[in-house]
Chain A
Amino acid sequence: MKRSRVVITGLGCVTPMGPDVARTWEGLIQGRSAVDFIKRFDASGFPTKFAAEIQETPDIDLPGRYAHWSDPKSAFAAAAAAEAMADAGLKPGEVDPFRFGVSVGAEVSRPDLPLVAERIKALKRTSPEEAFGTVDPKEFLVMAAFYPATLLAHLNQAAGPNLTTSTACTSSAQSIGDAVRILRRGDADVMLAGGTDRLVEELMVMGFGLLGALSQRNDDPKAACRPFDRTRDGFVLGEGAGFLVLERLEHALARGARIHAELLGYGCSANAWRITDSPPDGRGARQSMVMAMKDAGLKPEDIDYINAHGTSTQQNDASESAGILGALGETAYKVPVSSTKSMMGHLVAACAAVELIVCVKAISTGLIPQTLNYEHADPACPLDYVPGEARATRVDVALSNAFGFGGSNGTLAVGRYQA
C-alpha cells in the first residue's frame, strides 16, 4: 500500500519569546533572550530565581463555558492551535469532523503551591466532608493531561482520533509522530498536532532544582542557558505551546492550501538506561535520528540543519553530540546544529512542536537561529553550533530532536515541499 505524503499547512505558537510565530521567530533571529528573573511568584529564596516566562497572556476568547473550563496549559494550547488553524486557512467545521483528529503532548497540571498549602490548612479547620464539598468539580478534568486535546477537539470540531502523549520533554515529538502515522495510514485527513506545557511555578522550580537539573547562574540569567558551551550548568525552564496543522497531501492540494513544508519522517527510540540520565555514547539519540532518516528516505548528506534538543545540561549536550556523530558520521561536522532553548528556555512537553516550527521557518526563510551564549568550546561537543548570530544558508531538509526524562527520544525530519 502506497502511503500518503504528509504536509504542514499551518503553524502556531505561544512562547516566552512572543505570543505568535512571527514574534517568536523575530526574537530568535535577533538572538534575544527571553530568560529573566521570575515575576509570577516570589522565587528569591529558591536556588534558581529565573526562567523564561510567558510575558504576554495569549489573547484568546474561549467561547461560552470553555472560558471557565480552562487552565494555563489549555489556554496556551487553544491560542497556538487557533493561530495554526487560521494560518492553514481552516475554520472549525470545514473539515469532515470524523476525518479531523488531535494529537497533543502534555502533562498533568501542577497546582500552585500556595493553593496546596491552603488546602492542607483548610483540612485542619473543617471536616473532611466539608473540604470535599468545596473542591471545584472542574478542577479534576481541566488539570488532566488529556484536557487540552479534549478542548481542541471541541473548539475545532475535530471528532477524529484524539491522543495525548506524556513523555516529559519528548511528548510533542511523539504526538506529532503519531499524527504523521495516522495520516499516512489514512485514518484522518487533517491532524492538529503539537504540545503545551506550563512550567514556571514553584513545584517545578523546586522539583527540578532538587534534582540539580536547573542552571543556577542567578547573577546573569540571560547567559544561563548555554547549550554545548563548556561552562553550561543546567537547563532553564520555559513554557508555552506549539501546534501544527498536518494534512494528507491530497487533501491539502484539493483545497488549494498553502504548503509550508513536508513532514518527511519520524524516528523514536528509548535509552533503556536510567530515568534522568542518557547514555554517554548517545545511542538512543543516534537511533532516533537514524530511524527518522530511514523513515524519510534521507542520507546524512541530505541534512542541512539540526535543531538540537540542546538543554544546556552537561549530560544531554555531550550525549546528543555523540548521537549526532553516530547518526551522521563524518558528515556531522559540516551540519549546523543549534539549540533555540538558549533563547526561550525549555518548553518541555511543548518544545518539540515549537522547535519543529523553527525548522519550518529555517526552510522558508533561509535563516538558521544561533545558539545564544555559546562561547567556550567543549571537547565533548565538537560540532558547529552556530555561535554569534543567525546564519543565512539554504535549508532544504532539517531534523528536530527531543529527548526526555524517562528515556524516550524522538526525531522529526522536515523538508522543503516539492510537488
Chain B
Amino acid sequence: MNGVVITGIGVISPLGFDAAEIHQRLCRLESAAAPISGFDTGPFPTKYGCQIKGFQGKDWIENRKNLKLMTPAVQYGLAAIKLAVQSAALTPQSTHPERLGMFVGAGTAFGEMGDLVPALERASVDDHYDARRFAAEGMPVVNPLWLLKGLSNNVLGYASALLDAQGINTNYCNSGVGALQAVGEAAWALAEDRADVIIAGASDAAVNPEHLTGFGRLGVLSAQSAPHPFDRSHDGFLPGDGAAFFVLERAAHAAARGVQPIARITGLGNATALRGLSGCDPRAIVAAFKQALQVAHWRPEDVDVVHAHGNGNPRYDAAEAEALGTLFGAHRPAITADKGGLGHSISAAGGLSLALALQSMRVQTVPPIVGLNDIDPSAAALALVTDAPRATRVLRSAVHSAGLGGQTCVLTLESLGRTLEDA
C-alpha cells in the first residue's frame, strides 16, 4: 500500500471534539463514564455510559429540514466530517468531485420504531393489532419520510451531497470494525488510484435503550460505573457515543496542494474469529496483525505502540493479550486502550482509537489505560501503559478493533510529522 497519507482529523467524542483534548484528558486519567441521562435506565442492569455532552445538531447542520430526519449518530458523523475537512484545509477547489470519495462505517439503524407508536395505537381492534386498520387509520399519521430516517447510509448520503463527493464510496454496517475497515479500504482505494481524496471514518451511538436492551440481554455490558480493560475486575464494556472521520489523500495530491500530512497508512489486516457467536479467538487477532504487517513490510519489532481493542470483556481481553504476546514476544511495544475513558462506541470505536494514535504521534506520548489499576494475570506479559502517560518514540503504530460477529481489523500507520525528521 503506497503513498496514502492522512491530512485531516475530525472527532466528536464524550471527552471532547478535538483529538488533542481527548488525548490530554485520557493522559489525566479522566473517564467520560457517568450515569446515563436523557432516558430512563430503570429497566436496564447497566446505568452508566459515555455520552456526548454539549452537542447541538443545529450548530453543525445548516439544513433544518434534513436535520429533523437525522438520528444523533448521523449528526455526530456529519459534524466529525466537517471538522476533518476543516483540519485538512480541504476546499471545493482542492479536488475534482469525481476523484473525491467517501467510506463510512455506520451503526445499527433501528428504523425509529418509537415514531410508529401513534399509528399502532390507532391500529388496535379489541386490543389486537389489525392490519387493515393499520393501513387505513395508522399509516396516514406516519411521517411520509419515516423510512428515510432509518436508512443505514445516511451519513454517506448527506455528506456526499454536501461536499459534492461523487467518487468511490461505501457504507459498512459491520459492528466494531466499521471505522478501521472504512479507513483501510479507503486507503487501498487510493493506492489503486480510484480517487485522489477519500473522507473515511465512522459514527455510532450506543447509549440508547435499543443498545442497552440488546447488549444487556447478550450479557456483554459492565455492571460497574466505569469499564476496566485488562484489569482483574473487568466485566464488560460501557456503551459510548462517538464519531471520527479522517481525510485520506494520495501523497502526491497532498504535496501538490501544499498540505503537510500527519501520517502514512501502511497496512490493513482483516480476519474473523469463528469461535462462538460473539467470538474471540487469538488466532484471528494474530492473523489480522500479520496481514497488516505483511502489507506494511514491517517486522513485529518495528511497531512502537499498539492501540488495542481492550473492550473489558474478560474473555476478549484474555484473547487479545494472548495474541499480542504471541505476536510481539520479547519486543513488548507500548500497549494502550481507550474504552475505559470513552466507552465502546461500536463502529466508531476504532476511529477514536485511530485519532488518538495520530495524536500520540504528534506529541510522542502514549495515554494510559484509564480504569486499569490491577493488571489481570492474563495480560501480565504485556507492556501496558498504566497510571500515567508514557513519553516514548511513536513512529509506527498499530490500531486494532473487533466486532460482535468476530470481525477483526488492524490498521498500521507511520508518523510523517516533525518527529520523523528528528529521528
Residues of A within 8 A of B (CB): 41-47, 65, 69, 97-98, 101-102, 106-108, 110-111, 113-114, 116-118, 120-121, 127-129, 131-132, 135-137, 139-141, 144-147, 149-150, 153-154, 157-168, 174, 178, 181-182, 185, 187, 202-204, 206-212, 268-276, 283-284, 287, 291, 404-408
Taking a contact as CB atoms under 8 Å apart, the answer to whether A406 and B154 are in contact is: yes
A-B contact pairs, 23 of them (CB 8 A): A44-B132, A101-B270, A107-B152, A107-B173, A108-B109, A136-B217, A140-B217, A146-B175, A159-B284, A163-B172, A163-B174, A163-B185, A165-B172, A166-B106, A166-B153, A174-B170, A211-B145, A272-B164, A273-B161, A275-B154, A406-B156, A408-B153, A408-B169
Whether A206 pairs with B166 at a CB distance below 8 angstroms is: no
Which residues in B have their C-beta under 8 angstroms from that of A202? 131, 134
Q: Name B284's closest neighbour in chain A (CB-CB).
A: A159
Please name all residues of chain B whose beta carbon is closer than 8 Å to the beta carbon of A275 when the two chains form the complex. Answer: 148, 151, 154, 157-158, 161
CB closest residue in chain B, given A149: B405
Q: How far is the CA of A250 from the CA of B30 in the complex (A)?
A: 53
- Sample of 4 further A-B pairs with CB below 8 A, known A139-B214, A160-B271: A121-B124, A135-B217, A166-B173, A408-B153
Q: Tell me which residues across on chain B come within 8 A of A272, comparing CB atoms.
A: 97, 160-161, 163-166
CB distance from A404 to the nearest CB of B (A): 8
- A162 contacts B405, CB within 8 Å? yes
B223 CB–A CB distance under 8 Å: no
- Report Cα–Cα, A273/B117, bound state, in Å: 32
Contact across chains for A178 and B136 when beta carbons are under 8 A apart: no
The CA-CA distance from A87 to B72 in the complex, in Å, is 45
User: Are A42 and B174 also in contact (CB < 8 A) when A117-B120, A141-B278, A207-B146 are?
Assistant: no
Question: Which B residues are in CB contact (< 8 Å) with A108?
Answer: 108-111, 152, 173
Q: Cβ of A268 and Cβ of B168 under 8 Å apart?
A: yes
Q: Check if A137 sits within 8 Å of B219, measured CB to CB.
A: yes
On chain A, the residues within 8 Å of B215 by CB distance are: 140
- Give the chain A neighbours of B213 by CB distance below 8 A: 132, 135, 140
A211 touching B171, Cβ below 8 Å: no
Given A145-B173, A167-B156, A291-B194, A161 contacting B135 (CB threshold 8 A): no
Which chain B positions have C-beta within 8 A of A283? Answer: 166
Please give, as numbers and ranges, the residues of chain A lying within 8 Å of B330 by CB-CB distance. Answer: none
For the complex of A and B, the 3 pairs showing the least CB-CB separation, nearest first, are A45-B135, A140-B214, A207-B147
Chain B stretch 377-393: residues in CB contact (< 8 A) with chain A: none
Q: Is the CB of A167 within 8 A of B171?
A: yes
Chain B: residues with Cβ within 8 Å of the partner, total of 90
* B113, B217, B268, B273: the one within 8 Å of A132 (CB): B217
Q: Report B's interface with A, CB cutoff 8 A.
A: 40, 42-44, 97-98, 101-102, 106, 108-111, 113, 116-117, 120-121, 123-124, 127, 129, 131-136, 139, 142-148, 150-154, 156-158, 160-161, 163-175, 181, 185, 188-189, 192, 194, 213-219, 268, 270-274, 277-278, 283-284, 287, 291, 295, 403-407
CB distance from A352 to the nearest CB of B (A): 13
Closest chain B residue, CB of each to CB of A158: B272
**Are B173 and A146 interface neighbours, CB within 8 A?**
yes
Contacting residues, chain B, for A206 (C-beta < 8 A): 135, 139, 142, 146
Q: Is A167 a contact partner of B108 (Cβ separation < 8 A)?
A: no
CB atoms of B129 and A160 under 8 A apart: no
Known A-B contacts A270-B167, A272-B165; the reply to A41 vs B152 at CB < 8 A is no
Give bound CA distance, A168 to B171, whole Å: 10
Contact in complex: A287, B98 (CB < 8 Å): yes
- Nearest-neighbor residue (CB-CB) of A267 within chain B: B168
CB contact under 8 A between A43 and B277, given known A129-B42, A146-B403, A163-B181: no
- A-chain residues with CB within 8 Å of residue B160 when the two chains form the complex: 270-272, 407
- Contact of A160 with B270 at beta-carbon distance under 8 Å, contacts A113-B129, A120-B120, A206-B142 already known: yes
Chain B neighbourhood of A149, CB < 8 A: 174, 405
Tell me, rounded to whole Å, the shortest Cβ–Cβ distance linking A181 to chain B: 6
Query: Which has the most chain B C-beta neighbours within 10 Å: A41, A113, A203, A204?
Result: A113
Given contacts A160-B271, A407-B160, contact A166 B152 (CB under 8 A): yes
Q: Residue of B at shortest CB range from A177? A: B170
**Nearest Cβ on chain B to A93's Cβ, whole angstroms:** 11
Q: A274 to nearest B CB, angstroms?
A: 7
Q: What is the CA–CA distance of A107 and B171 in the complex, to the nearest angstrom?
A: 11
Given contacts A108-B110, A272-B165, contact A98 B271 (CB under 8 A): yes
Residue on B nearest A110 in the bound complex, by CB: B111
Closest A residue to B192 using CB positions? A181
- CA of A168 to CA of B152 in the docked complex: distance in angstroms? 8
With CB as the reference atom, state the residue of chain B lying closest to A111.
B113
Q: Contacts of B117 on A, CB cut-off 8 Å? A: 120
Question: Chain A residues with Cβ under 8 A from B147's Cβ?
Answer: 204, 207-208, 210-211
CA separation between A45 and B151, bound complex, in Å? 25
Minimum CB distance partner of B133 in chain A = A45
Q: A45-B135, A101-B270, A139-B214 are in contact. Are A178 and B170 (CB under 8 A)?
A: yes
| Chain A residue at minimal CB-CB distance from B276 | A154
Q: Complex: how many Å from CA A174 to CA B168?
A: 10
Chain A hits for B156, CB < 8 A: 167, 270, 406-408
CA of A70 to CA of B218 in the docked complex: distance in angstroms?
16
Chain A proximity of B257: nearest CB distance (Å): 21
Is B274 touching A141 in the complex (CB atoms < 8 A)?
no
Per the bound structure, the CA–CA distance linking A210 and B111 in Å amounts to 15
Q: Chain A residues with Cβ under 8 A from B111's Cβ?
A: 108, 110, 203
> Given the complex of chains A and B, what is the CA–CA distance between A243 and B163 in angstroms?
34
Considering the chains assembled together, what is the distance between the CA atoms of A177 and B374 in angstroms? 46
Complex Cα–Cα for A141 and B283 (A): 23
- Pairwise interchain contact B170-A45, C-beta atoms closer than 8 A: no
Nearest chain A residue, comparing its CB with the CB of B148:
A275
In the assembled complex, the CB of A211 is this many whole angstroms from the nearest CB of chain B, namely 6
Rounded to whole angstroms, the CA-CA distance of A106 and B173 in the bound complex is 8
A73 to chain B, nearest CB (A): 13
